[in-house]
Structure formats: C-alpha cells, structure tokens
A and B are shown apart, each in its own frame.
Chain A
Amino acid sequence: DIQMTQSPSFLSASVGERVTLSCRASQNINKYLDWYQQKLGEAPKLLIYNTNNLHTGIPSRFSGSGSGTDYTLTISSLQPEDVATYFCLQRNSWDTFGAGTKLELK
C-alpha cells in the first residue's frame, strides 16, 4: 500500500502570507495527486486534481506542483476563509489520504 505523509501537521500563518503545504508518497504516484480542503464540520472539498489542475470555482491563489513522490500545495496570499485542514490524496494505486495539515491564522 502507498503511504502518504503530510507536513507540517499544523501551520500558523498571517493573512496575505504565502503558504506551502507538502505531501510525500512512499513510492512514485505519477502525479495522481489531489488536494482537498476540509472546514470544521464540513465534507472535504476538491481544490486541485492531478497535481496542478484547479477544480472549477477554486480561487487562483491555490496552486499545486510536484512529481514522483513529492507534491506541494501553495496558497499565494492566505485569506481568512482558508482556515481549514488540507488533505492530499493519491489515486495511483487505489486511494490513500494523508493525515492532513491544519492551517490557522496567526
């Protein structure tokens, strides 16, 4: 089974700051990597699929990159509504989620 490791587990940042979240797979996942945002009490919401494709309606301040085993979600200018937990998901071999990065405002 492919394991997904997210870092950091917790991040505190200021409004307007550039934020980078990481996800590492235990083996090559061929860019089959998605990012989800989950706000408290809500279902996960798709932000980015296949590493760098922005889902419909998602603000352009969100972007993704990566290849092989290492992937990144970047928020170019953090907004108050971005407070949430962010999960990565690999779909190269069945589905495996990361444990999440909890993002809060400083």
Chain B
Amino acid sequence: KQEVTQIPAALSVPEGENLVLNCSFTDSAIYNLQWFRQDPGKGLTSLLLIQSSQREQTSGRLNASLDKSSGRSTLYIAASQPGDSATYLCAVVGRNYQLIWGAGTKLIIKP
C-alpha cells in the first residue's frame, strides 16, 4: 500500500530564504507526482506535476525533483515571500489514477 510522508510538518523561515520541502513515498511504481498548495478557506492549487519519466520540473521560483528509485521528491522554493505562506501537499498518482496524499507541510514566511 502506497504511503506518502512529508517532512517537516511545519516550517517557519524569514522572508528571502531559500527552502526545501521533502516528500517520500513507499511504492516507486507511480505514474506521476504532484505538488499542491492549500490556502485557508480556498481550494487546492496545482503547482508542479512531474511525470514518472522526468527528474524535475520548474515553474518560476519553484523547482520540484523526483527520484523514483529512492522514493523521494523535493520542492525547492527560491527567495521566499510572505505570499508563499500556505500548506504544501505532495501527492502521487498510483493505481486507478487516484492521488495518494501526504499530510502536508505548513509553511510560514515571516516578513
């Protein structure tokens, strides 16, 4: 059974710092891995999707990597801003195309 773990559960850093969020999964037989952000009272926003054949994806200040063999993904956020404060969720697409979710990392960027 696929399990997704995110570390740390919470992170607070000063504005401007670069930071890394970690995601690990137990079954390397995945179709893809997605990173989302969740803002209080709002829906989920997809940030990056890495297909199983890819090793990384970039969007603006975000870079996500995927190492299937070790069951790990990282989300790198450069030059963090207060607006980046949110909960970041990692999810893998497994059998039947459902997303298996991590518990999330709550990120606070202090001005």
Q: Do A and B bind each other?
A: no
List residues of chain A with CB under 8 Å of any chain B CB.
none
